[in-house]
Amino acid sequence: MLERAYVLAERVGFPLWCEDEAGPYQTIPHPGSGWQPEAEPGRQDHPSIRGKTCKLLTLFRPASGELRAEPVDSSTNAVLHPWLKHELEAILKQCSPAPEEVPERRTWQEWDPFPAAEQLDRFNPPLRMLLILANLAGHDSRDLVSWCSERGIGLLDTPCAGSWLTMAESVQRILIRRALEGHHVSDVEFLKDWLRDTIEGWNRHPTPFIWGGTRHARRDRAYARRHRQGGSGATTP
């Protein structure tokens, strides 16, 4: 379902966003690539030294590369849900209004894997966007799910231990490398400022992400032409 959403959602007329919370990131030296003079190796503080931390709330639209993110002290529901609702409201204002007649592939039943999904089309407005979330209890809270349903936001959860299926994690890794690699952050407020600057820089030149892509498709075709052996992943031509 998630792969289908990545491939088809934007084609059929509504945006697909990914959400994730990253961190905690500490106010400690962060390793990075570099060159050291001979006999003068680079040194880091002892790893047992722990500083204050911050986390990163992230909303990412793979099709355009647009990023909405905010560094915060914690990512509890009391912090995450108000931020998420505020950002989703802003995104919906940029979306086209809900159609009077629901076109093909834009029904709730089309994108919800549960058998009772047909009831959602009776009680909810038409879908206006999809949001991929990590499989956490806080993301399934009654308040958040109801709020999203009332506004035509379809929620897709990643499976357990499958958070890598949300592209928000990919962009978070890029941001952290750009902001912190090779630096010794001495204050958590500096850390937040560097993350905000990196987010602003990303949005000046956003990079769209594509699920799989042409190279992935070539590998699938090549794999399909081979014979699987013994269920181990080995193949023969």
Q: What percent of the chain has pLDDT over 70?
A: 78
Asked if the structure places residue 33 within a domain, the reply is no
Mean pLDDT value of segment 126-147: 85
**Residue 80 tokens, joined:** 């995450």
Q: List pLDDT tens digits, range 60-91.
A: 999 899 999 999 998 899 999 999 999 999 99
Query: How many angstroms separate the CA atoms of 83 and 87, rounded?
Result: 6
Asked if the structure places residue 42 within a domain, the reply is no
The per-residue pLDDT for 139 is 82
Residue 116 has pLDDT above 70, yes or no: no
Quickly state the pLDDT bin for 166 (edges 50, 70, 90): confident
Q: Which residues contact 151 (CB under 8 A, 6 or more apart)?
A: 88, 89, 92, 125, 128
**Residue 35 tokens, joined:** 């060159």
Query: How many angstroms separate the CA atoms of 210 and 230, rounded?
Result: 33
Number of domains, the chain: 1
Asked if the structure places residue 40 within a domain, the reply is no
| Angle 184-188-193 from CA coordinates, rounded to 5° | 90
Residue 209: which CATH number?
Answer: 3.30.420.10
The per-residue pLDDT for 159 is 81
Mean pLDDT value of segment 28-52: 66
Give how far Cα 196 sits from Cα of 18, 72, 91, Å: 19, 11, 19
Quickly state the pLDDT bin for 117 (edges 50, 70, 90): low
Asked if the structure places residue 119 within a domain, the reply is yes
Output 49 or 137, whichever has higher pLDDT: 137
pTM: 0.73
Asked if the structure places residue 152 within a domain, the reply is yes
Which structural domain, as residue segments, surrounds residue 122?
A: 2-28+49-236
Residue 132 has pLDDT above 90, yes or no: no
Asked if the structure places residue 16 within a domain, the reply is yes
In terms of Cα–Cα distance, which of 148, 139, 136 is closest to 88? 148
Asked if the structure places residue 118 within a domain, the reply is yes
Quickly state the pLDDT bin for 30 (edges 50, 70, 90): confident
The per-residue pLDDT for 224 is 80
Asked if the structure places residue 35 within a domain, the reply is no
The per-residue pLDDT for 105 is 63
| Angle 45-198-75 from CA coordinates, rounded to 5° | 75
Q: Do 53 and 25 contact (CB within 8 A), yes or no?
A: yes
Output 31 or 155, whichever has higher pLDDT: 155
Residue 171 has pLDDT above 60, yes or no: yes
